[in-house]
Chain A
Amino acid sequence: MSRILLKNKLDDCIAAWRSAGFSVLAPVRRSDLSRFDEVERSTDMALDLVLPERTIKDHFFPQTEPLIKYKIKKHDIDSQEMLPPDMKRVFFGVRPCDASGLAIDDPLFGWDYKDEYWFKRRDNAVIVTIACTASDDFCMCTSVKLDPDSTKGSDVMLRPLQNGNGWQVEALTDRGNALLGPVASFLQEGSEAPAPVASVPVRFDVDRVMEWLADPASFESHFWKEISLRCIGCGSCTFLCPTCHCFDIQDEGDTFSGIRRKNWDSCSFAMFTMHTSGHNPRNTQSTRWRQRIMHKFNYYRGKFGVNSCSGCGRCTRQCPVDMGITETLQAITNLPK
């Protein structure tokens, strides 16, 4: 026996959470784009998506965020911090890979300086994940040692029922348990079996990849040049990635006042490492692509003990030239030992 949430009770849950002061965010399809956004009822949701095009990272580490508001005075500057307001949020229908992405980034934002802008949002968010029963040609969670029902980063796990009427509900954390409190009356006990999770093939040997990347000789390998020839140097893979977290600080304003902002940046951009002198240590696309792969599967692990990839496959799925991590790691897997 387990707790069950029936689909026809979902609206009650939403209402209950909302009246408990939560805003409820779920995958929606709006203006020709699937992403997480606030919903008021279940019909707003697009839960049938394998994966929304945008990640939930957007809601913890927004693409652009004000940090400081400043006013320029004759002899000094007035400034005022612009932390986000307190927001109690339920993210409903998150996929395990996106939820894992948050967990992967947590140590990054908290290892020395605790990034308040991330944790203020993170601490007040409850992640309700739905295990995947479907996948597509780009999904690769199993290749990075996660699964279609990984619980990493999630507070509540929902497993779709075989009969399609609802989900098995499992609270994974205190936050998850607390979230279920106000909706306990809409849950029921049941023994319906969950549907089998999606079968996602293992597309590369991540251990072999890590081994190869760690070999100092690999850094200068001709491999990087060949594999990245068609990369056009846009930032779509990094910006759609649930774990990429690079940013730039930018002042925007006029003569009298302005805002200091934190904006996404991408290691794919030629400007990313451009020095004021004009020198660019990563002056070709291959060195940038190498950086991205190295960072995800070598450096990040070195620092935080985990690879910076949750296997969502967006990098390939939305790449204008059909590149992505999968192809590269497959190629590394297939390199002669």
Chain B
Amino acid sequence: MAKIGVFVCHCGENIASMVDTANLVAAISEHPGVEICTEYKYFCSDPGQETVKRAIREHGLTGVVVAACSPRMHEQTFRKACAEAGLNPYMLELANIREQCSWVHTDKEEATEKAIEITRSLVEKVKRNNGLYPISVPVTRRAMVIGGGIAGIQAALDIAGAGREVVLVEREPSIGGHMSQISETFPTLDCSQCILTPRMVEAVQHPNIKVMTYSEVEEVDGFIGNFTVKVRRKARYVRMETCTGCGDCIQKCPVKKIPSEFECNLGNRTAIYTPFAQAVPNVPVIDRSRCTYFKNGKCAICKKTCQIDSIDFDMQDTIESIEVGAIVVATGFQLQDTSLYGEYGYGRYKDVITGLHFERLASASGPTAGKIRRPSDGKEPETVVFIQCAGSRDVSKGVRYCSKICCMYTAKHAMLYAHKVHGGNTKIFYMDIRAAGKGYDEFTRRAIEEDHAGYVRGRVSKIFEENGKLIVRGADMLLGRPVEVEADMVVLATAMVPQPDAKDFAKVLGIGYDEYGFFNEAHLKLRPVETATAGIYLAGACQSPKDIPDSVSQASAAAAKVLGLFSREQLEREPVVAMVGESTCAGCWGCVTACPYNAIDHKDITDRNGNVIKRVASVNPGLCQGCGTCVSFCRSNSIDLAGFTEKQIFAEVMAL
């Protein structure tokens, strides 16, 4: 039998002045199942709480309703009081007769009637409450960071620095990501390699970090605290354990004319190669598709050259299964293929290049050793045109969003060019200059004022070649007239887009992605580094276009989230989670599809002999956040939400 205690709070005059509490107490006292109903000036005060606790003990109450303020205000207070008196804290309901009654009504009779109805319906609800207990999930305190760009490196270092193990997985032969390709960085113009390389080395040497390069995540199973990740280590054909990185094999490799991906095809590499000189680890890989030995079984010069016999042509891909408790996804971005703008002639004219090409040209370690030379004939360009938003903010052909970094790097390019080519001209076609950020606007001003970057507000309509020059036709919207520039080189500020396989990878991870393929955060404002899948976090440009400071900040934030999770051996969670009625579940998997958190999985029900009789849905309480979307979907009413069960809500409504 239910023994419910109802405690009517006056909240000083806040409630009592508009609700006739004596009447309320009288009405509720008459309600079936109500063991005791009393009123008091402030139930949230210490003596008030003591009254509640004493009543629980003395009357053996099975449930408590406090008719007072909003549960958002004092639910925790009274839950604690219940727990202290030996009653499960979830056997409590708050009837909100202050915020939603006494404060908003002006007729005492009406307000009292409403207070009675509210309280009564919660008495009916609480009669059907069940004691709930926090859910503990064991946590494997090892993290995986996927992607070895600056975001991934930062996250790994932060987690490792706090004493937790990290596995850093990178699919390229070296960590470093896009940042390693960049010459100087805005707004300080310090050399990208100079600030990045030490961090790369630190990562690879860190005792808590296991770096897996040339490796790809193939499968992710499990849930927060308990993921099992299958990683494919692609065959390098060079033994990591023994290679000293002397580079002899690279020197001797006869296949030398392979366009280098790292150099954006502006330079070449060999078939056995490291992507760039400062690669970490400094162990080459053999590009099987280009290697003569793999093509026809002859050559093997590298093997002969290697003094410590580190070349192994028989090496196979291996799959490693790794247990981790959290995953930071930092898989980065790609550049949009700008050839979609036929009118810009990218791909047709050699001297129409992207911003990343320009970075390589300006980089001291790049193909031109830092001299600005145009790709077609190696001449120093006298006039360079930069086109911003060459893909971004373009609904018709490109992408709708702003790529965020282009305004800044274009200004930087104009500066670098001015520093390297004295007397050169720049024209920058732009839509807006977006320079929000510490030191950013100052930076663009400097480009204009000190380095004479020639900003033209407007769009370019056409580029064509004439007499060895690129004729750039556009409009100057400020002056309202057409412009034509004879340029030697054109640099396009290409859009940042998600990795081409981002959507597929999101499915491997079980996380959401937006229409473009950028991964979705759990809440854009309040949970920007978490995904909807508990235990998986985001860092860097895989979520949205970001510059280096933003990527690094988010990486550290993600690391903080991981460390928070790792701060205890067990993860404690609110027990307001869904539960499946296995006997009636029809296994239609609608709940699995609807669940925003991938918290529902299939479960086999077997007979005594282990034969599968049927498959039903099964909620992972470690992942369920308790929204109840599954409950409303389920046609057979086979899934329910603790704390807000069908029985509870039904009783609440039927008492109104």
Chain A directly contacts chain B within the complex, with at least one CB pair under 8 Å: yes
Interface residues, chain A, CB within 8 Å of chain B? Answer: 72-75, 254-256, 278
Q: Chain B 22-46, CB within 8 Å of chain A: the 1/0 string? A: 0000000011101000000000000
Closest to B31 in A: A74
- Of A75, A256, A278, chain B has the most CB atoms within 10 Å of the CB of A256
Interchain residue pairs A-B with the least CB separation, the first 9: A255-B655, A254-B654, A74-B32, A255-B654, A255-B124, A74-B30, A72-B32, A278-B583, A74-B31
Closest to B29 in A: A74
User: What is the CB-to-nearest-CB distance from B117 to chain A, in angstroms, rounded to a whole number?
Assistant: 11
Chain A residues within an 8 Å CB radius of B120: 255
Closest to A256 in B: B655
User: What is the CB-to-nearest-CB distance from A255 to chain B, in angstroms, rounded to a whole number?
Assistant: 4
The answer to whether A73 and B583 have CB atoms under 8 Å apart is: no
- Of A74, A75, A255, A278, chain B has the most CB atoms within 10 Å of the CB of A255
Chain A residues within an 8 Å CB radius of B32: 72-75
A-B contact pairs, 16 of them (CB 8 A): A72-B32, A73-B32, A74-B30, A74-B31, A74-B32, A74-B34, A75-B32, A254-B654, A254-B655, A255-B120, A255-B124, A255-B651, A255-B654, A255-B655, A256-B655, A278-B583
Chain A residues within an 8 Å CB radius of B31: 74
In the complex, the number of residue pairs spanning A and B with C-beta atoms less than 8 Å apart equals 16
Chain A residues within an 8 Å CB radius of B651: 255
Complex-state Cα separation, A255 to B117, whole angstroms: 12
Complex-state Cα separation, A255 to B654, whole angstroms: 6
Chain B residues within an 8 Å CB radius of A75: 32
User: What is the CB-to-nearest-CB distance from A257 to chain B, in angstroms, rounded to a whole number?
Assistant: 11
Q: Chain B 109-139, CB within 8 Å of chain A: the 1/0 string? A: 0000000000010001000000000000000
Complex-state Cα separation, A272 to B34, whole angstroms: 37
Complex-state Cα separation, A255 to B31, whole angstroms: 10
Complex-state Cα separation, A254 to B487, whole angstroms: 82
User: What is the CB-to-nearest-CB distance from B21 to chain A, in angstroms, rounded to a whole number?
Assistant: 20
Closest to A254 in B: B654
- Of A73, A74, A75, A278, chain B has the most CB atoms within 10 Å of the CB of A74
Complex-state Cα separation, A72 to B310, whole angstroms: 87
- Secondary structure at the A interface, as helix, strand, loop or mixed, is loop
Chain B residues within an 8 Å CB radius of A255: 120, 124, 651, 654-655
With A73-B32, A74-B30 given, name 8 new contacts (CB 8 A).
Answer: A72-B32, A74-B32, A74-B34, A255-B120, A255-B124, A255-B654, A256-B655, A278-B583
Interface residues, chain B, CB within 8 Å of chain A? Answer: 30-32, 34, 120, 124, 583, 651, 654-655
User: What is the CB-to-nearest-CB distance from A70 to chain B, in angstroms, rounded to a whole number?
Assistant: 12
Chain A residues within an 8 Å CB radius of B655: 254-256
Closest to B32 in A: A74
Complex-state Cα separation, A254 to B117, whole angstroms: 14
Chain B residues within an 8 Å CB radius of A278: 583
Closest to A75 in B: B32
User: What is the CB-to-nearest-CB distance from B83 to chain A, in angstroms, rounded to a whole number?
Assistant: 28
Complex-state Cα separation, A255 to B652, whole angstroms: 9
User: What is the CB-to-nearest-CB distance from B340 to chain A, in angstroms, rounded to a whole number?
Assistant: 57
Chain B residues within an 8 Å CB radius of A74: 30-32, 34
Complex-state Cα separation, A38 to B643, whole angstroms: 51
Complex-state Cα separation, A256 to B656, whole angstroms: 10
User: What is the CB-to-nearest-CB distance from A278 to chain B, in angstroms, rounded to a whole number?
Assistant: 6
User: What is the CB-to-nearest-CB distance from B168 to chain A, in angstroms, rounded to a whole number?
Assistant: 52
Closest to B124 in A: A255
Complex-state Cα separation, A122 to B234, whole angstroms: 87
User: What is the CB-to-nearest-CB distance from B603 to chain A, in angstroms, rounded to a whole number?
Assistant: 18
User: What is the CB-to-nearest-CB distance from A251 to chain B, in angstroms, rounded to a whole number?
Assistant: 12
Chain A residues within an 8 Å CB radius of B583: 278
Closest to B583 in A: A278
User: What is the CB-to-nearest-CB distance from B559 to chain A, in angstroms, rounded to a whole number?
Assistant: 50
Complex-state Cα separation, A254 to B31, whole angstroms: 13
User: What is the CB-to-nearest-CB distance from B647 to chain A, in angstroms, rounded to a whole number?
Assistant: 13
User: What is the CB-to-nearest-CB distance from B367 to chain A, in angstroms, rounded to a whole number?
Assistant: 75
User: What is the CB-to-nearest-CB distance from A279 to chain B, in angstroms, rounded to a whole number?
Assistant: 12
Complex-state Cα separation, A149 to B583, whole angstroms: 52
Complex-state Cα separation, A256 to B123, whole angstroms: 13
Complex-state Cα separation, A55 to B32, whole angstroms: 44
Complex-state Cα separation, A206 to B30, whole angstroms: 63
Complex-state Cα separation, A302 to B124, whole angstroms: 49
Complex-state Cα separation, A300 to B31, whole angstroms: 48
User: What is the CB-to-nearest-CB distance from B124 to chain A, in angstroms, rounded to a whole number?
Assistant: 5
User: What is the CB-to-nearest-CB distance from A126 to chain B, in angstroms, rounded to a whole number?
Assistant: 43
User: What is the CB-to-nearest-CB distance from B232 to chain A, in angstroms, rounded to a whole number?
Assistant: 47
Complex-state Cα separation, A158 to B282, whole angstroms: 109
User: What is the CB-to-nearest-CB distance from A258 to chain B, in angstroms, rounded to a whole number?
Assistant: 10
Closest to B30 in A: A74
Complex-state Cα separation, A75 to B583, whole angstroms: 36
- Of B32, B120, B651, B655, chain A has the most CB atoms within 10 Å of the CB of B32
Complex-state Cα separation, A72 to B31, whole angstroms: 9
Complex-state Cα separation, A209 to B351, whole angstroms: 97
Complex-state Cα separation, A72 to B127, whole angstroms: 15
Closest to B651 in A: A255
User: What is the CB-to-nearest-CB distance from B125 to chain A, in angstroms, rounded to a whole number?
Assistant: 11
Complex-state Cα separation, A278 to B120, whole angstroms: 34
Chain A residues within an 8 Å CB radius of B34: 74
Complex-state Cα separation, A278 to B582, whole angstroms: 12
Chain A residues within an 8 Å CB radius of B124: 255
Closest to B123 in A: A255
Complex-state Cα separation, A74 to B32, whole angstroms: 4
User: What is the CB-to-nearest-CB distance from A74 to chain B, in angstroms, rounded to a whole number?
Assistant: 5
User: What is the CB-to-nearest-CB distance from A4 to chain B, in angstroms, rounded to a whole number?
Assistant: 59
Closest to B120 in A: A255
User: What is the CB-to-nearest-CB distance from B611 to chain A, in angstroms, rounded to a whole number?
Assistant: 19
User: What is the CB-to-nearest-CB distance from A256 to chain B, in angstroms, rounded to a whole number?
Assistant: 8
Complex-state Cα separation, A35 to B32, whole angstroms: 45
Complex-state Cα separation, A75 to B654, whole angstroms: 19
Chain B residues within an 8 Å CB radius of A256: 655
Closest to B654 in A: A254
User: What is the CB-to-nearest-CB distance from B538 to chain A, in angstroms, rounded to a whole number?
Assistant: 45
Complex-state Cα separation, A152 to B31, whole angstroms: 55
User: What is the CB-to-nearest-CB distance from A259 to chain B, in angstroms, rounded to a whole number?
Assistant: 14
Complex-state Cα separation, A278 to B651, whole angstroms: 25
Closest to B655 in A: A255
User: What is the CB-to-nearest-CB distance from A73 to chain B, in angstroms, rounded to a whole number?
Assistant: 7
Chain B residues within an 8 Å CB radius of A73: 32
Closest to B653 in A: A254
User: What is the CB-to-nearest-CB distance from B29 to chain A, in angstroms, rounded to a whole number?
Assistant: 8
Complex-state Cα separation, A73 to B31, whole angstroms: 7
User: What is the CB-to-nearest-CB distance from B33 to chain A, in angstroms, rounded to a whole number?
Assistant: 8
Complex-state Cα separation, A74 to B35, whole angstroms: 10
Complex-state Cα separation, A73 to B655, whole angstroms: 13
Chain A residues within an 8 Å CB radius of B654: 254-255
Complex-state Cα separation, A256 to B124, whole angstroms: 11
Complex-state Cα separation, A115 to B393, whole angstroms: 80
Closest to B584 in A: A278
User: What is the CB-to-nearest-CB distance from B169 to chain A, in angstroms, rounded to a whole number?
Assistant: 48
User: What is the CB-to-nearest-CB distance from A157 to chain B, in angstroms, rounded to a whole number?
Assistant: 51
Complex-state Cα separation, A190 to B120, whole angstroms: 73
Closest to B34 in A: A74
Closest to A72 in B: B32
User: What is the CB-to-nearest-CB distance from B34 to chain A, in angstroms, rounded to a whole number?
Assistant: 8
User: What is the CB-to-nearest-CB distance from B4 to chain A, in angstroms, rounded to a whole number?
Assistant: 12
Closest to A258 in B: B654
Complex-state Cα separation, A255 to B32, whole angstroms: 9
Chain B residues within an 8 Å CB radius of A72: 32
Chain B residues within an 8 Å CB radius of A254: 654-655
Complex-state Cα separation, A256 to B651, whole angstroms: 11
Complex-state Cα separation, A256 to B655, whole angstroms: 7
Closest to A278 in B: B583
Closest to B650 in A: A254
User: What is the CB-to-nearest-CB distance from B654 to chain A, in angstroms, rounded to a whole number?
Assistant: 4
Complex-state Cα separation, A278 to B584, whole angstroms: 10
User: What is the CB-to-nearest-CB distance from A270 to chain B, in angstroms, rounded to a whole number?
Assistant: 12
Closest to A76 in B: B32
User: What is the CB-to-nearest-CB distance from A79 to chain B, in angstroms, rounded to a whole number?
Assistant: 15
User: What is the CB-to-nearest-CB distance from A289 to chain B, in angstroms, rounded to a whole number?
Assistant: 24
Complex-state Cα separation, A74 to B34, whole angstroms: 8
